[in-house]
Amino acid sequence: QVQLVESGGGVVQPGGSLRLACATSGFTFTAFGMHWVRQAPGKGLEWVAFIRYDGHDKFYADSVKGRFTISRDISNDTLFLQMDSLRPEDTAMYFCAKNRDFWTGFSINYWGQGTLVTVSS
C-alpha cells in the first residue's frame, strides 16, 4: 500500500533553513507528481509546492516562492522540501502528498502524517 513518511521538522530561528524529506513506498515514484501542503496551528490547508513526475516542472505558492525548493531523488524514492529564509509565519505541519494521476490535474489521493516546523527565536 502507498506510504508517505515525512521527516526533518523541528524548531528553527527566523532566517534559518530546514530540509524536509518524504520517504515513499507502495507505488512507482517516477510516475506521479508530488505535493507539499501545510497547515498552520488551528488553521486550514495551504498548498505549498508541486513537482511533476519527471521533476522537470515545479510550481510554488507565492508565499514561498524564492525561499523554498521542491525536489525528488528517484534513486531513493524520496521527496524533499528545502526551506530557506524561514519566517514565523512558516510555522506549520507540513504534509507530503501524492498526486492522483496525470488525467485528474492536481488531485491528491494520499497524504502523509506530517512533520511539524516551528520558526521561533
Partner 1 sequence: DVVMTQSPLSLPVTPGEPASISCRSSQSLLHSSGYNFLDWYLQKPGQSPQVLIYLGSNRASGVPDRFSGSGSGTDFTLKISRVEPDDVGVYYCMQALQTPITFGQGTRLDIK
Q: Is 30 in the site for partner 1 (CB under 8 A)?
A: no
Judged by CB, which is closer to partner 1: 28, or 103? 103
Coil, strand or helix: which one is 104?
helix
Distance from C-alpha of 37 to C-alpha of 50, rounded to nearest angstrom: 9
Q: Is 112 in the site for partner 1 (CB under 8 A)?
A: yes
65-73: Cβ within 8 A, 24+ apart: 68/36, 70/34, 70/36, 72/29, 72/34
Q: Considering only CA atoms, which of 12, 23, 13 is closest in space to residue 72?
A: 23
Q: Which stretch binds partner 1 (CB under 8 A): 11-19, 20-28, 81-89, 98-106?
A: 98-106
Judged by CB, which is closer to partner 1: 64, or 83? 64
Please report how close the Cβ of residue 59 comes to partner 1 at its closest, in angstroms. 4
Q: In the complex, which residues of this chain contact partner 1 (CB under 8 A)? A: 35, 44-47, 50, 59, 61-62, 95, 100, 103-109, 111-114
